[in-house]
Amino acid sequence: MDGPNETVRKAATSARMYDFYLGGAHNFAADRQAALKVIEQYPAVPAVARANRAFLGRAVRFLADAGVRQFLDIGSGIPTVGNVHEIAQRAAPDARVVYVDIDPVAVAESRELLHGNDRATAIHGDLRDPKAIVANQGLLDVTRPVAVVLAAVLHFVPDDTQAYGLVDELLAVLPAGSHLVVSHGAAETFGLGDERTAAARAVYTRQTSTAGKPRTKQEVERFFGSRCALVDPGVTWAPDWRPAAGDPTDFAYDTRRSGMWAAVGLVQAA
């Protein structure tokens, strides 16, 4: 009979598949097999992951430079090279970061990577229960501004009512001056009627617990609601959000092919 660790190794997760796309080492055979099936349908997926990671880095650097000192990264996966705590604490050593993921293995490995860093931690939590995340995170003062990062995670909540509702819940408990960082798979690129998209989504549905749903630019804008003012340049293709020297050049010829919408919003007073 398989023990719990062996059972986990046999089940792919979106967090460890994403680690594989980025060339990381924190993944198992089941994750690699599932990821390769997705890549068969969309060979550009690793480049999409790189573009998303680059956007995340620019957004965190922008916020840290603007004085943000608290980050809550939900659906974080495994914080390997170039993730939130490294970027934020390089700009501001007093920055605090809490990573949240539904995958217990990702959380355990994250805690190992963060060992000795008393201003960063990882907790087990489900994006679909934002109140529990805020209540259990333990490290951040949520009476003061917090940057909530939802990078490449909301498309794994396919029900629109649930997806918009949970973001509204998060915004409702954040004070004015907080920020919302979102990147999201684009329906304009990964069209729901496309056979390749259907095949790629089927991999996630069959082999992980997270079925994906891309959304349009207008649908992504809705996540920011009436309480969140978009930071310039608004919702853009990921490579177009405040590009910087050293960014990946995979989609320099056509940023639409990055397949990811990206934006940062400033939470206003209720």
pLDDT at position 6 over 60:
no
Give me the pLDDT at residue 207, please: 43
Task: Return the domain boundaries, the chain.
Answer: 46-190+211-267
pLDDT at position 8 over 70:
no
- What string of H, E and C letters represents the secondary structure of the chain? CCCHHHHHHHCCCHHHHHHHHCCCCCCCHHHHHHHHHHHHHCCCHHHHHHHHHHHHHHHHHHHHHCCCCEEEEECCCCCCCCCHHHHHHHHCCCCEEEEEECCHHHHHHHHHHCCCCCCEEEEECCCCCHHHHHHHCCCCCCCCCCEEEEECCHHHCCCHHHHHHHHHHHHHHCCCCCEEEEEEEECCCCCCCCHHHHHHHHHHHHHCCCCCCCECHHHHHHHHCCCEEECCCCCEEHHHCCCCCCCCCCCCCCHHHHCEEEEEEEECCC
Q: Which CATH class is domain 46-190+211-267?
A: alpha beta
pLDDT digits 0-9 by tens, 65-100:
999 999 999 988 877 767 899 999 999 999 999 999
Give me the pLDDT at residue 5, please: 46
pLDDT digits 0-9 by tens, 107-162:
988 899 899 999 999 999 999 999 999 998 989 999 999 999 999 999 989 999 99
